[in-house]
Structure 1
Amino acid sequence: MAAATVVPATSVIANLKLLNNYNYDEWSFRVKIYLLAEDLWDFVEATTEPPKPEDGEAEFKAWRKNNAKALYAIQSSCGDDTYSLIGGITTAKLAWDTLEEKLKPAKEELVPHEDLNTDPTSKDGNSNLNKNLAGHDSNSSYFSEFGQDQPFLDFVTNGDWDSAKEYLDINPDVIRKRGSISGATALHMAVVLEDEDMAMSLVELMAEEDLEIQDANGVTAIGAAANKGLAQVAKCIVEKNKKILTLPCLGDMIPLLTAYSSGHWKLARFFYSLTPLEALLRDKRQRWR
């Protein structure tokens, strides 16, 4: 059996956008994927006390080594302003929990814009979309990678489908535009934010091949949905592009294995019922080379 190729953590983490005070959702999703791929997520998600030297030297050393790997990945992906929050912490679990407590944004109830309750076009010919753009504050978004189309992404991340749809009516190609750094599409962002209604609305307007777009880390939208356990989004994507069940969606894993490795058993069973046998056999052969 050929030896597995080991990719140093520094080379992977270096490609991630550093955690700051405004991008926790995107950061946590990407770092969790990395830790899952390296079999280190259990040391973050642990519900039991870590072993002590008196519990057995071998067990303690194994835990200490893997905890250090996970902690290093978390620390290395923090910016200067966020590293200070965990600088003295020695376990990956406590570091992760501390960052989540300090930086994870509270979910706010979305209130429809009052303009959206009126006729889409005002008497002077200016649409509500133009009004929203005029009053748009680009600093309100967690992401700023879309250039002149940034307002569209902000409509998506704020859950404002009516304005997003109106923008798409004028600029239809922006639905497949990728962020300049993350490589993520608007659909990726909606999935990361777990806005299922927004995600499914975007899928309806996307071409089959658009659903195969990968972000800078090689993650497709269905890979993100499988990791999050968003069953309705995943089903919506599969209904439009069944080929996607056989394509790598997170690293070298197909959607079935991504859902399984993330603990979403019902979604994994759904994928299993539709995934062609040859794709399962091919994946097995690749993993046992």
Structure 2
Amino acid sequence: MGENLWDIVESMDEPPKPEDGDKFKYWRSKNASALHVIQMSCNGDAFSEIRNITSAKEAWDILEVKFKPQPESTDKIISDDEVNNPDDQYQLYERFPKALKDGNLDATKEIITQYPNAVSKIISRTGRTALYVAAIAGHTEIVETLVEKMLPEDLEMKDSNGITALTVALYYNANTKIVECMVKKSKKLPTVVDSWGMPVIWAFRYCPIKMARYLYSVTTIEDLISWENHGYAAELISQAIITKCYDVALHLLHRCPQLATTLGIYQYTPVHILAIYSSGRPLKFWQKWINESIVIYGDRVIKEIYTKLPTNIDMSSDKELRGKVWSLQRVAMHFDILGFNKIYEMKLLHIQTSELLRRMCEEIKKLDENQISRSDIIIALFRAVEKENFEFVESILKLIPDLAEAYDIHGRNIFMAAINCRQDKIFSLIHGVGTKLAATNDVDADKNSMLHMAGFLSPHPQLDRISGAALQMQRELQWFKAVESVVPPWTCGWTNSKFLTPRQLFTREHKQLLSEGEKWMKETATSCTVVGALIVTIMFAATFTVPGGNDEETGYPKFLDDKTFMLFIISDAISLFSSTTSVLMFLGILTSTYAEDDFLKSLPKKLMIGLGTLFLSIAAMMISFCAAVCLMLDGKKSWVALFIISLASIPVTLFVLMQFPLLIEIYLSTYRPNIFNRKP
């Protein structure tokens, strides 16, 4: 009603026909909007009923027939025989729900004694059962009292909206004792499907992981993987992957491998979810070193344990497994002592995801071409490219090399998508496929070639990993040059649907980044020029005002023969010459033309030399100062000299912390190996 769409559903008139012109167009627009609203409001069960319906009114009518609750449920509502007078009615419909909500245990027991059947009936005017009301309130003792009086099948009762008490208990408070109390009474409860789904799936999606794991541990797997529940079981695997409970996903997949390619209730397969959620952040160099150490020390043990299923195994009877677990604990203890437990956990998760991917690939291998095209494996492959999930893409392409020729909705192959998302490791896989030539000659729906893909601006998450607009521009140019070296020559002059060559597209897309790069370079160069010029002035003056002064007869410095004096002169000269070089480099940056190709080598080299010589000049200046102090004190008050030398190290350290990482990044960015590894 708020969107003025209800009349489409409510109308009893025949819809207009295409020949009615504007009237038909108006109806078609409103019908599409109304149908979209209805579809978006449906869960998996409801959506399956109207999947192929194109009329909003027809979809509404189907849902109304199937799901609209009846005004009364005669087999559940308190019967007239049980309610003999208005006082009894008050007891049941007013006092009982109030006692449950308030946590009044005595009043609850009194009413249950008087009306024993009330525990398994709808007792509120809103269509809720006693257990439902108590579960929302979260009163453990009252829930236990009700459950004790109920039969196992009574716990599966649903309110007028089709929701079980267990589901609301998970939603409103996730009280462990309440949930345990219900599940102990009815083992089937975690897999009872209600209008909100299945409780065990709900737990993984919305509850704390501890609660989700508990509920899965008491779930009857046979009920979960039964044929009619396959969609729910597949969804549970997907939710376990999202919450990084990979051992749960492995356990369930081990029991029913075909779930890997089964659509879940939210219309995604576990394969698709793994493609999106199993990728991790790139490790820093020291994290990679620790990661490799874990591989050497504990990878074999961990992998053996996590490939031996099921999860809920009794280790007391398996000496071999107990020994492996102890080895695993030693690995964990070792790395925890070193303070690297987080890296250890990351490695553990990686091993689990690798095993999960391997098992899914075994199932995908069984599918024929038609089954693959009907599934969402191709979509998952492209989503994996977006998420930088190299391991997933590599495994799928090894398994089904023909998918290298698959296309997304824009008509782009997997390698064009990799360029567009700036995934260099994934693009490098092109050197290992037999259809490399065909792939490099492809164009998408807008007539964009691979080189056009390199001409588009990188996604922001990729750009944000690089410091400074100038280095971002350099990286973009490196991508363009690297792709240019792979594609056939004809693509350089090829125009897309907007009549732009790859280079013209690159210039248009990177116009703002070029301007920001120029601004960043000038600001950095200006700031460093001021510092360099100041050092030049200081060190030039220090050359003619040497410590101790000059001999009046010869004019030579009085400390000329002292080794400390020679250190002073040499460090002064180094500081003067290096700061002068630094100023000249930064002046060269300020007077540059700032053409696109200047950002590839010329400007980064100048900035690198400028920062390097500036760092050298500051360090030499501090050494010169310390040498001068030592000469003046002449061995006396040595503690003063040590204190001053310690203070002198502070500016050098600060400069290293603030600017040296940038210097290293510029060097690696400028002189790194080719973006694409031809032997990935």
TM-score normalised according to structure 2 size = 0.21
- The structure with more helix, counted as a fraction of residues: 2
* Larger RCO of the pair (alpha carbons < 8 Å, separation 6+): 1
Bigger Rg over Cα: 2
TM-score normalised according to structure 1 size = 0.47
